[in-house]
Structures are given as structure tokens and as C-alpha cells.
């Protein structure tokens, strides 16, 4: 009868009730105490399973008819109590909610559900009910919402807690400080915001803390020195400001420190000198300054040292050679000068050396051969001179070599052909001469070899990589020949070999040779004398012609330093007492190449807009600058007013603003010198066909939007209105950091009326605030907010503000608003981001763009508020960081 009852189609809970009644009636003493624990644990697990999707059938062993769950996949029991003590389902591809049914596992100590697709919020009763829990790992899921403050009311047993790589938002609960047994805490890669409370440092047993890749802000509170057992501290990729905690060096057991990608300032605390166990020190992408500490070489256990993209100055300490365990050294993008220390030879374990983008001089040390493990050597964009050392061939493991944009001379050493693992080499923009070694064709792994803009000559190697080399890799070497450069090699001249008469005896040969040698000496002397005379005559004639030419050129040109071309050729500097010169705001002297005859010519043009035309110019030191030639002189202020306004603009410094570096003024035209960005404008990266393969990830786009907001907020704080914000006026550097250009230029013009501002300056279709069309409305910084809103929609959607279709005109702002109202969010997102974003994360960003682009100026937020809003917007943690290939 019992068998018949159990096999009726009942729920699992009903079966347990019936079975329990049977046991109570017939076997009250022998069975009840043995089965009741399994009743609770099995019931909880079976109900938990019933709410899940299990595509890989990982939970097939969870059979409700089993007597015990202790042999189920992922389940372990304590043998002394026969209760479930561990539930580990990592990487099972499960999806669904983490329901309350797990609360029945009263003796559970380990709960690990990482690398699945669980959704929903974290149950605030999880730790309160399961007070025996020691390990909770819910990382790499899709959990959302805030971390409940009530979660940590009874967490005294908790040792390991990880919610990493989810979509959690809100602040870190202050109640977390009551988990005084906690040894490892990982909330990384979420969207947590707010400030870090000092109660975090009450966790005296904490050994590992990872809060990286969130939106945390404010200063790092003092008190970290109280964590004597701390081994790992990761706060990178947030928005922390202020200084690195001064007493961090009291955590003597610290091995890994990551404060990278924040907004930290000031110098490296000297207390770090005491952290001799440290293996990783990552301070990249901050605003740290001062010199690299001389004691850095005493941290002899360091394996990774990354101080890149800061404001460090001074030289590289010679003690760097004491880091015998160092594997990665990155000091790039700073203001470091001086020479590369020869102690580099001691770094036998180093496999990445990046010193690029500094003011390093001297030569590449011969001792580089000591770094025998090098895989990557990056020295580009410095002032290094001398020759490429032949000893570099001793770095036989080298795969990537970048020496571009330096002052290297001499020939390319043949020994480079011995770097059999070399895949990438860039020697462009140097002063290298001679021929390319033929043996380079032996580099079978080579995929890129750039020698453009040098003084190389002769025939290109034939074979291997060089049969299909990209022509741009050899541009700027006019004496190179071969099919790739469309310049055939002249093979008509072949010197005749010297043949001695084999029939003559030794004496006759010796006399003959002596006479021959005497005749040769006489011939050489005659030739030298004749050559000297000819040279003198030619020199005199050349100088005379050159003087005539220069006088003629000067009388017809108003361009300094040999500049010519463009407009206003009627201006003569000899006739104008106000003819100026190039003025660099930092005091440097600009030297233009002598061979540049038409600097401001069409071929050098890289953009134009309401304020003028922009040209790319290569200086004599091989650096690039951007020169903007302003619009007609009839709109320009006097020289005194012009120079005063430029000086003001030059003093405006911000990481998201293009730096104004100098100017030139005369009565016919005015030039402004800016820093140059080879990657181009935001418009180019979003819309040009040549750039379609370059796709911003969601994370990168968020960074660009936030950077533009910060730059605009800073301008408004300085009482500067941009007036002409658009994607062609935003430039992107190599770190996806946006730089706003053309700000403040309206101040260089005389007072303009409303119509001139609208027609001359605000020329970009779709970005123009509606108040420009109304003469009775004052133009304020809210017009910039409108342009920012349009930019947000453009960056998110990948579409232009106005697009012309066959039979229609699509206005981006209207299209996005309509799609959002119809709950068709996917139509508002760039199609190249499909599968790499979450609609829940994109909607707040889109709504912010629409609010900023409101038709009524008073409805638009201030840019300072926009920055605060952006810092709390959710964005993806993992999918957004992947670049679409």
C-alpha cells in the first residue's frame, strides 16, 4: 500500500510528508532520528533544482527517490552529522534565481555557485539563516541590485566572500565591518558606487581585498595600516582621488598592490619601501607625480612594476637593476628623462620593458643584451640617439620591438635577422641610413616591419615577409627601390674587377705595381684639385642664386620659418612692423624642417570647421603638432587682445581638454598650435569606413562619455562656453581618453551678435541648441549640455545626429525617443555592440542623453550633475570590456 501511495503523481513535498507519517507510525525509534536531517536537506536541494535551467544536465544525479543527497554531484556531507556541509556547483551553466529553499541547509558551510548565469537579487536572509557559512562564492553570474545591508547581521563565521563579476550596484554596506573573521573579500567588476567607508579597516583578519573595476569614488580612508595580515589589496579601475594612504607600508605582508586607473595624486608614499615581500605594484593611469623613488630597487621580490601614464619626472634610478625577479617594467607615458641605466642588464627575468612616451635621451645601452628573457621592448617616442646596438640579437626571445619616433642613426644591424622569434618591429621616424639587411627575409614569424620615414636606400629584401610588405611601412625613404615602392633599382653600373697579369714575374710585377700606384696617386691628386676648384665655383654660383631666390621668396611671403602656400600670399613681413613669430607657451623653440615649402597646403589638411582649417605638421625633431589657421582677419581681435586671450586658454589644463601649446599672429592671419592626436577624432572612429573594424567596447564608450562630461564641467567651472561641441571636435588618444578641442576660441573674436554666433560658429548640423534660433534667449552653458546630449546618443547608437535616407531624414534624437517609448532599446544601440551590452545598463545612459538634449534649456542638468549621474550609471562588467574584432 505504501508503494502504491508513493507512486501516485504527488509533489516531492507531499511524498516526504506521507513517508514521514509512515515512519512515525511503524518505526518511531529506529528511523526518525536518522531520516529527519535528510528530509530537510533533500527537500531544500530538490526545490532549488526545480527552479533552475540545467542545459548541460549537470544535476542529473539529483534523484528525489534517493535516501541521501550526499552522493549527488556537487554535494558533500559532514560524516559526523550526515548533514550537507558543502554545495559547489561552479561552472555548471545553471540559470535561474537563488531561492529561499537553500535556507533549509542549516549545516551548510561552503556555498559556491560561481561561473553560472544566476539572476535576480541577493537574498538578504542568506547569511542570517545560514549562520554556519564560512565560504560564499557567487562570482561570475548576472546578479543585480544592491547588496543588502541586513545580509551581514550574523556573519561571524564567514571567512571568504565573493560577489565578483556581477551587475551589483549601490554602496558597500557598512555592516560588512561586523564580519570580523573575514579573510578574503572580492566585490570586483560590478557597478558599486559611493565612498569607501573606514569600517573596512576593522576587518583585522583580512588577507585579500579586491574592490577593483567599480565606480567607487572619494579618498581612500586612512587606517589600512591596521590590517597586519593583508596580502592583496586591489582598488584599481575606480574613481578614487587624493593620495595613496601614507602608512600603507605598515602592512608588511602585502604582496600585491593595485591602485591603477584612478584619479590619485601626489607622490608614492615612502612607507612602501618597507614592503619587501611585494611582487606586484600597479599604479598606472593616475596623476601621481614626483620622481621614481631611488629605493624602488630594494623591493627585490617585485615581479610586475607598472607606473605608466602618470606625471613622474626625473631619471630612471640606477638601482632598478636590483629587481632581479622583475618580469614586467612599464614606465611609459610619463615625463621621465635621462638615459636608460646600464643596470638593465641585471634583469634576467624581464620579459616586458616599456619606456615609451617619455624625454629619454642618450643611446640604447649595449648592456641590453643582459635582458635575455625579453619578449617585448618598447622605447618609442623618446629622444634616443646613437645606433641600434648589435648586441640586441642576444635577446633571442624577442617578439616585439618598437623604437619608432626617436633620433636613431646608422644602419639597421644585420644581427636583427638572428631574432628568429620576431613578429613585430617598428623602426619608423628615425634617422637610420644604409640598406636593409637581406637576411631579414629569414624571419619567418615576421608580420610587421615598419621602417618608414628614415634615410634608407638600396633594394628592398626579396622573399618572405618583404614580398607582401605594406607600402606604408617603407614610405619616407626616397632612395629605396623595388616593386613595393614603384621604383626600379638601377643595375646598369657594375664595377670591373682588377685582373693582374699571371705571366709576369714577381720583380716586374712589383715595379709595375709601384709605377701604377704612383700614376694612381698623381691621378687622384689631379682629380682632387680639379674637384676642389669646381666645388668652389659651383658653391659661389649656388649661393648667389639662393640669395636671389630667398629675396624673391621673402618679398612674396608672410610665412615665418620658410612657411608658404595657403592664403594671404600678398602679405610681406618686411612691410608690416607687426609681423610676429611663433610663440610656444612652455618656452620651447619650434623648428620646422628646411625642406617644408608648403606647410599649410591642402595635402596637410586634417580638418576644418567654423573657426578655421587645421593642418598636421611634422617638426624637425620628428614630433607632430596640429596648427589651426583661424578664419578671416576681419573677425579677429587686435594683436594685444589676441595674445592675452591665447595666454588664458593656454593656462587651462585638464586631462580631457586638448592642450593649446602656442600661437602666431600677424595682421594677415593667425595660427594656433595644439597637441596632435594621430588616432583622430571621435567622428572618424565612429563613422569613417576605414575605421569600421575599430569598434569601441561598451566600457570604452562609457569612458569617452564620462571624459567629455568632465572636460565640459571643468570649462563651465572656468566660465567658458564651448559653443561648438560635436564629434569632430573630440579627439581620442591611445587609451580611449577623450580630448575636447576648439574650446574658448570664440573669445579670440570680437563681440559677435547672435546671428554671427549661430552661422559662423555653431555650424554642425544636429548639435545646435534650439535657442540659437531665438534672438530673445540668452546663450548659456546649457547650449553645451544640449550638444553633449546629442554626443551621448551618437556614441551609444553609432549613428550621426542627422542621417539622410532615400525618402526621409532621420533625426537621431527623435528616433531614439520613439524607440525608447516603444521599448525597442536595441534600435538605439550600435549594431556592432549586439551581444556585448545589457539593455538595463544602456537605458539610463540613453535617458541621460535625451534629458540633456531637452528643447527647454532650464530642463537640462548642469554638467557637474551630469558627471555625478554618470558615475552611478550601470554598465557591463565583462561583456562591455571585450573588443569586437
The tens digit of pLDDT for each residue in 266-284 reads 999 999 999 999 999 999 9
Strand 167-170 relative to strand 359-360, pairing = unpaired
Co-location of 809 and 863 in the same domain: yes
Q: Do residues 704 and 671 share a domain? A: no
With beta carbons less than 8 A apart as the criterion, state whether 741 and 674 touch: yes
The predicted structure's pLDDT at residue 826: 80
User: Which of 9-18, 224-233, 759-768 is predicted most confidently?
Assistant: 224-233
Of 358 and 536, more confident:
358
642 in a domain, yes or no?
yes
* SS3 assignment for 230-296: CCEEECCCCEEEECCCCCHHHCCCCCEEECCCCEEEECCCHHHHHCCCCCEEECCCCEECCECCHHH
Q: Is 690 in the same domain as 726? A: yes
pLDDT on residue 760: 44
Question: Mean pLDDT lowest for which of 180-194, 227-241, 464-478, 502-516?
Answer: 502-516
**pLDDT higher than threshold 90 for residue 503:** no
Average pLDDT rounded to a whole number, residues 344-365: 93
Cell of 274: 618597507
Contact residues for 282 (Cβ-Cβ < 8 A; gap 6+):
236, 257, 258, 259, 260, 304, 306
Mean pLDDT lowest among 16-25, 160-169, 231-240: 16-25
Q: What average pLDDT does range 837-842 have in this prediction? A: 67
pLDDT at position 636, please? 56
Q: How far apart are CA 626 and CA 401, in angstroms?
A: 28
Please determine, for residue 77, whether its predicted confidence score (pLDDT) is greater than 90: yes
**CATH value at residue 744:** 1.10.510.10
pLDDT at 845 over 60: yes
Q: What is the domain extent for residue 6?
A: 1-120
Between CA 42 and CA 17 the distance in angstroms is 13
pLDDT of residue 722: 87
Residue after which a domain boundary falls, among 641, 676, 711: 676
Do 668 and 692 sit in the same domain of this protein?
no
- Mean pLDDT computed over 736-757: 68
Q: Which comes out higher in pLDDT, residue 234 or 505?
A: 234
Predicted confidence (pLDDT) at residue 509 exceeds the cutoff of 60: no
Rounded to an integer, the average pLDDT of 7-26 is 47
- 186 within 8 A of 214, measured Cβ to Cβ: no
**Within a domain: residue 582?**
yes
**What average pLDDT does the segment 213-223 reach?**
90
Mean pLDDT of the 80-105 span: 93
CA distances from 83 to 37, 540, 557, 654 (A): 6, 105, 94, 61
pTM over 0.85, yes/no: no
Residues 579 and 449 in one domain: no
| H or E element, residue 803 | strand 802-804
Q: Band of the pLDDT at 234, cuts 50, 70, 90?
A: very high
| More confidently predicted of 693 and 462 | 462
Residue scoring higher pLDDT (596 or 302):
302
Higher pLDDT, 263 or 9: 263
pLDDT score at 257: 96
Which residues, 6+ apart, have CB-to-CB distance to 255 below 8 Å? 231, 232, 277, 278, 279, 280, 301
Q: What cell does 211 get? A: 574592490
pLDDT value at residue 392: 93
Domain-terminating residue out of 460, 488, 516: 488
pLDDT, residue 632, reads 52
pLDDT tier, 610 (very low <50, low <70, confident <90, very high otherwise)? low
What pLDDT is attached to residue 588? 66
The annotation status of 629 as a binding-site residue, yes or no, is: yes
Read off the pLDDT of residues 322-348 as tens digits, 9 standing for 90 and up: 999 999 999 998 889 999 999 999 999
User: Residue 21 is part of a domain; what is its CATH number?
Assistant: 3.80.10.10
As a whole number of angstroms, the distance between CA 731 and CA 708 comes to 10
Task: Please report the pLDDT score of residue 335 as a whole number.
Answer: 87
- With 50 as the cut, is the pLDDT of residue 29 above it? no
* Average pLDDT value for residue range 448-468: 90
In a domain, 235, yes or no: no
Neighbours of 491 (CB within 10 A): 8
The residues near 24 (Cβ < 8 Å, ≥ 6 apart) are 32
Q: Answer whether residue 140 is part of any domain.
A: no
Task: Decide if 799 is inside a domain.
Answer: yes
pLDDT of residue 624: 78
pLDDT of residue 775: 54
Mean pLDDT computed over every residue of the chain: 79
* Residue 105 pLDDT > 70: yes
Query: By percentage, how much of the chain surpasses pLDDT 90?
Result: 44
Could you tell me if residue 391 is inside a domain?
no
| pLDDT of the residue at 83 | 93
Q: Is the pLDDT of residue 627 over 70?
A: yes
> What is the arithmetic mean of pLDDT over 292-297?
94
In 3D, which of 462, 499, 463 has the Cα closest to residue 482?
A: 462
* Of the candidate ranges 44-48, 558-562, 827-831, the one whose mean pLDDT is the lowest: 558-562
Please compute the mean of the pLDDT values over residues 280-302 and round it to a whole number: 93
pLDDT of 307 > 80? The answer is yes
C-alpha cell at 243: 593620495
Q: How many CA atoms lie within 13 A of 533 on its CB side?
A: 5
Q: Grid cell 559611493 — which residue? A: 194
Assign residue 635 the CATH number of its domain. 3.30.200.20
One domain for residues 480 and 572: no
Q: Place 60 in a pLDDT band, splitting at 50, 70 and 90.
A: very high
Confidence of residue 124 (pLDDT cuts 50, 70, 90): confident
Q: Judge whether 181 lies within some domain.
A: no
pLDDT band for position 773 (cuts 50, 70, 90) = low
Tell which of 633, 659, 676 closes a domain.
Answer: 676
At 851, give phi and psi (nearest 5°). -65, -45
Q: What percent of the chain has pLDDT over 70?
A: 75
Can you read off the three cell numbers belonging to residue 579? 609681423
401 versus 854: which is more confidently predicted?
401
Q: Are residues 664 and 694 in the same domain?
A: no
Note whether 600 and 705 are same-domain residues: no
Residue with cell 590619485: 264
384: cell is 634616443
114, 90 Cβ separation under 8 angstroms: yes
pLDDT category at 774 given cuts 50, 70, 90 is low
Q: What is the mean pLDDT of residues 702-715?
A: 92
Same domain, 686 and 752: yes
- Do residues 697 and 786 share a domain? yes
Give 638's pLDDT tier (boundaries 50, 70, 90): confident
CB 224 within 8 A of CB 243: no
In a domain, 250, yes or no: no
* Mean pLDDT value of segment 703-725: 90
Q: How confident is the model at residue 543 (pLDDT cuts 50, 70, 90)?
A: very low
pLDDT digits (tens, 9 = 90+) for 657-690: 998 888 877 776 778 888 888 778 898 888 876 5
pLDDT of 565 strictly over 50: no
Q: In this structure, are 719 and 857 located in the same domain?
A: yes
Number of domains the chain is built from:
4
Q: Are residues 666 and 597 in the same domain?
A: yes
pLDDT of 471 strictly over 90: no
Amino acid at each position: 500500500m505504501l508503494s502504491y501511495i508513493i507512486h501516485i503523481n504527488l509533489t516531492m513535498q507531499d511524498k516526504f510528508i506521507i513517508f514521514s507519517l509512515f515512519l512515525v507510525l511503524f518505526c518511531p525509534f529506529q528511523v526518525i532520528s536518522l531520516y529527519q536531517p535528510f528530509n530537510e536537506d533533500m527537500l531544500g536541494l530538490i526545490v532549488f533544482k526545480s527552479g533552475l535551467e540545467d542545459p548541460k544536465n549537470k544535476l542529473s544525479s539529483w534523484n528525489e527517490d534517493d535516501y541521501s543527497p550526499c552522493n549527488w554531484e556537487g554535494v558533500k556531507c559532514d560524516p559526523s552529522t550526515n548533514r550537507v556541509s558543502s554545495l559547489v556547483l561552479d561552472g555548471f551553466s545553471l540559470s535561474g534565481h537563488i531561492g529561499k529553499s537553500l535556507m533549509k541547509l542549516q549545516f551548510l558551510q561552503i556555498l559556491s555557485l560561481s561561473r553560472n548565469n544566476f539572476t535576480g537579487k541577493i537574498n538578504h536572509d542568506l547569511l542570517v539563516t545560514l549562520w554556519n557559512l564560512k565560504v560564499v562564492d557567487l562570482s561570475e553570474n548576472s546578479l543585480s541590485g544592491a547588496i543588502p545591508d541586513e545580509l551581514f547581521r550574523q556573519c561571524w563565521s564567514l571567512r571568504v566572500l565573493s560577489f565578483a563579476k556581477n551587475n551589483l550596484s549601490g554602496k558597500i554596506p557598512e555592516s560588512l565591518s561586523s564580519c570580523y573573521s573575514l579573510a578574503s573579500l572580492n566585490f570586483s567588476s560590478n557597478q558599486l558606487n559611493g565612498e569607501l567607508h573606514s569600517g573596512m579597516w576593522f576587518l583585522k583578519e583580512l588577507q585579500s581585498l579586491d574592490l577593483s573595476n567599480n565606480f567607487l569614488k572619494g579618498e581612500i580612508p586612512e587606517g589600512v595600516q591596521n590590517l597586519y595580515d593583508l596580502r592583496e589589496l586591489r582598488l584599481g579601475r575606480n574613481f578614487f582621488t587624493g593620495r595613496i594612504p601614507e602608512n600603507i607600508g605598515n602592512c608588511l605582508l602585502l604582496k600585491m598592490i593595485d591602485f591603477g586607473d584612478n584619479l590619485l595624486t601626489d607622490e608614492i608614499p615612502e612607507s612602501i619601501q618597507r614592503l619587501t615581500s611585494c611582487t606586484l605594484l600597479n599604479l598606472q593611469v593616475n596623476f601621481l607625480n614626483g620622481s621614481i623613488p631611488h629605493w624602488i630597487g630594494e623591493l627585490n621580490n617585485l615581479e610586475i612594476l607598472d607606473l605608466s601614464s602618470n606625471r613622474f619626472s626625473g631619471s630612471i634610478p640606477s638601482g632598478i637593476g636590483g629587481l632581479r625577479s622583475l618580469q614586467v617594467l612599464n614606465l611609459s607615458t610619463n615625463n621621465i628623462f635621462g638615459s636608460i641605466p646600464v643596470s638593465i642588464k641585471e634583469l634576467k627575468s624581464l620579459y616586458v620593458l616599456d619606456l615609451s612616451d617619455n624625454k629619454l635621451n642618450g643611446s640604447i645601452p649595449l648592456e641590453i643584451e643582459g635582458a635575455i628573457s625579453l619578449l617585448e621592448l618598447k622605447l618609442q617616442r623618446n629622444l634616443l640617439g646613437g645606433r641600434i646596438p648589435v648586441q640586441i640579437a642576444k635577446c633571442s626571445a624577442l617578439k616585439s620591438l618598437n623604437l619608432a619616433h626617436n633620433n636613431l642613426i646608422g644602419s639597421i644591424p644585420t644581427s636583427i635577422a638572428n631574432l628568429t622569434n620576431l613578429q613585430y618591429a617598428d623602426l619608423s621616424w628615425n634617422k637610420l641610413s644604409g640598406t636593409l639587411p637581406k637576411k631579414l627575409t629569414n624571419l619567418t614569424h615576421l608580420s610587421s616591419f615598419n621602417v618608414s620615414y628614415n634615410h634608407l636606400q638600396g633594394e628592398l629584401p626579396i622573399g618572405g615577409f618583404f614580398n607582401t610588405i605594406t607600402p606604408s611601412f617603407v614610405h619616407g625613404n626616397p632612395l629605396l627601390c623595388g616593386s613595393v615602392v614603384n621604383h626600379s633599382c638601377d643595375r646598369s653600373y657594375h664595377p670591373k674587377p682588377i685582373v693582374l697579369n699571371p705571366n709576369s714575374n714577381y720583380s716586374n710585377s712589383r715595379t709595375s705595381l709601384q709605377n701604377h700606384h704612383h700614376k694612381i696617386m698623381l691621378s687622384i691628386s689631379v682629380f682632387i684639385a680639379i674637384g676642389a676648384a669646381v666645388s668652389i665655383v659651383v658653391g659661389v654660383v649656388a649661393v648667389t642664386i639662393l640669395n636671389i631666390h630667398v629675396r624673391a621668396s621673402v618679398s612674396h611671403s608672410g610665412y615665418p620659418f620658410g612657411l608658404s602656400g595657403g592664403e594671404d600670399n600678398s602679405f610681406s613681413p618686411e612691410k608690416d612692423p607687426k609681423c610676429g613669430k611663433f610663440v610656444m607657451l612652455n618656452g620651447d623653440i619650434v623648428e620646422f624642417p628646411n625642406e617644408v615649402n608648403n606647410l599649410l597646403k591642402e595635402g596637410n589638411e586634417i580638418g576644418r570647421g567654423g573657426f578655421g582649417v587645421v593642418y598636421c605638421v611634422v617638426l624637425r625633431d620628428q614630433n607632430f603638432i596640429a596648427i589651426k589657421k583661424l578664419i578671416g582677419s576681419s573677425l579677429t581681435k587686435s594683436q594685444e587682445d589676441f595674445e592675452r586671450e591665447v595666454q588664458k586658454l593656454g593656462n587651462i589644463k585638464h586631462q580631457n581638454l586638448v592642450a593649446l601649446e602656442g600661437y602666431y599672429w600677424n595682421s594677415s592671419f593667425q595660427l594656433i598650435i595644439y597637441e596632435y592626436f594621430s588616432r583622430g577624432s571621435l567622428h572618424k572612429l565612429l563613422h569613417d569606413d576605414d575605421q569600421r573594424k575599430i569598434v569601441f567596447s561598451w566600457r570604452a564608450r562609457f569612458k569617452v562619455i564620462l571624459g567629455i562630461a568632465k572636460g565640459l564641467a571643468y570649462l563651465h567651472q572656468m566660465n567658458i562656453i564651448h559653443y561648438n561641441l560635436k564629434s569632430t571636435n573630440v579627439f581620442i588618444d591611445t587609451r580611449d581618453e577623450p580630448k575636447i578641442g576648439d574650446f574658448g576660441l570664440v573669445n579670440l573674436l570680437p563681440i559677435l551678435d547672435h546671428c554671427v554666433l549661430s552661422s559662423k560658429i555653431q555650424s554642425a548640423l544636429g548639435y545646435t541648441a534650439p535657442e540659437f534660433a531665438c534672438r530673445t534667449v540668452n546663450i548659456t552653458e546649457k547650449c553645451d549640455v544640449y550638444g553633449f546630449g546629442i554626443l551621448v546618443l551618437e556614441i551609444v547608437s553609432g549613428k550621426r545626429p542627422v542621417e539622410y535616407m532615400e525618402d526621409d531624414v532621420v533625426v537621431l534624437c527623435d528616433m531614439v525617443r520613439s524607440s525608447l517609448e516603444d521599448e525597442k532599446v536595441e534600435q538605439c544601440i550600435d549594431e556592432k555592440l549586439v551581444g556585448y551590452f545589457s539593455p538595463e545598463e544602456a537605458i539610463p545612459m540613453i535617458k541621460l542623453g535625451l534629458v540633456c538634449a531637452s528643447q527647454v534649456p532650464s530642463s537640462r542638468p548642469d554638467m557637474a550633475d551630469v558627471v555625478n549621474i554618470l558615475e552611478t550609471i550601470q554598465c557591463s562588467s565583462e561583456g562591455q570590456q571585450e573588443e569586437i574584432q
